Chains A and B, each alone.
Chain A
Amino acid sequence: MIGLEVIKMILPHRYPMLLVDRVTEIVPGERLTATKAVTVNEPWYARCGANHAYPPVLVIESWCQAAGVLAAWQNRQPDVLSGQVMLFGSIANISFHGRVLPGDVLEHKVRLVRSLSDAAIVEGESRVGDDTVLEVDRVVMALRPADVLRAGTAAGAAP
């Protein structure tokens, strides 16, 4: 098992936007399994009213962070908050198959389809128990210099 001390060396995300708890399996350059436990004391539940479904876009974000661990595994930076940062390039066909609720443990499966010098193409799915809750046809993650983001100008991609 790979815990947060290692995940935080790879992902620049921090509380409350770090949405991966553990990596349970990794075959570098090939595939990864990671988990994220959903709880009702995450900040998004402060004003949720009667709907306790985990926001669908955060299921995507959590899956993409797991993908980021796989994509950046072999290209780790000495300082995660400088050098290259991982950004969303594009998404094609992510489908939802059910609600995710507090108490659920998301299990993300990520497969690396193709790795380029400045981008990675990934696919996979997320499960809660035996149920598939998310299917990801394709996400392109782009690596860009962190300086581009600080400059506040068009970077050719957003996170």
Chain B
Amino acid sequence: MSPDGVVTSTQVGADEPLLAGHYPGFPIVPGVCLIECVHRSLLIRASRLGSSVELDVVESTRFLQPVFPGDRIVTEVRVDGAEELWRCIASVSTERGRAAEVRLRYRVLETATQ
């Protein structure tokens, strides 16, 4: 974690239960799960800063290539933080390259007193 960003990684389980239904016979990580990777990265940042935030707007998302079971997902988020809202620009990648570009906006509900 840096002052204006956060990087996280996660491994997609080869037997991740939700992939049984997405889709039977050809498991692919749902696009919204890539957005969730960005969202959770932001929640980790918020929690470390002692802030409370709420997802306000998914400003834009582009899906570039599919993510499969066993892939390692790396999420890099840059945050332009103001007092009342955070704007974040993120890229989600696997070993094969960039899988998604995501822009999210958050309402800041509470900030830790300095």
Contact = CB atoms under 8 A, between A and B. Distances in A.
A146 B26 contact: yes
Interface string A123-159: 0000000000000000000000010011011111111
What bracket does the count of chain B residues touching chain A fall in?
35 or more
A2 interface: no
Contacts of A85: 23
A4 interface: no
B31 interface: yes
Given A158-B28, A158-B34, A158-B67, A17 B58 contact: no
B26 A95 contact: no
Contacts of A60: 32, 35, 58
Interface of B is mostly: mixed
Interface of A is mostly: mixed
What bracket does the count of chain A residues touching chain B fall in?
35 or more
Nearest to B67: A158
A90 B60 contact: yes
A157 B100 CA distance: 9
B9 to A, nearest CB: 18
B17 A16 contact: yes
A40 interface: no
A48 interface: no
Interface string B61-82: 1111111100000000000000
Interface of B: 17-18, 20-26, 28-36, 39, 54-68, 96-97, 99-100
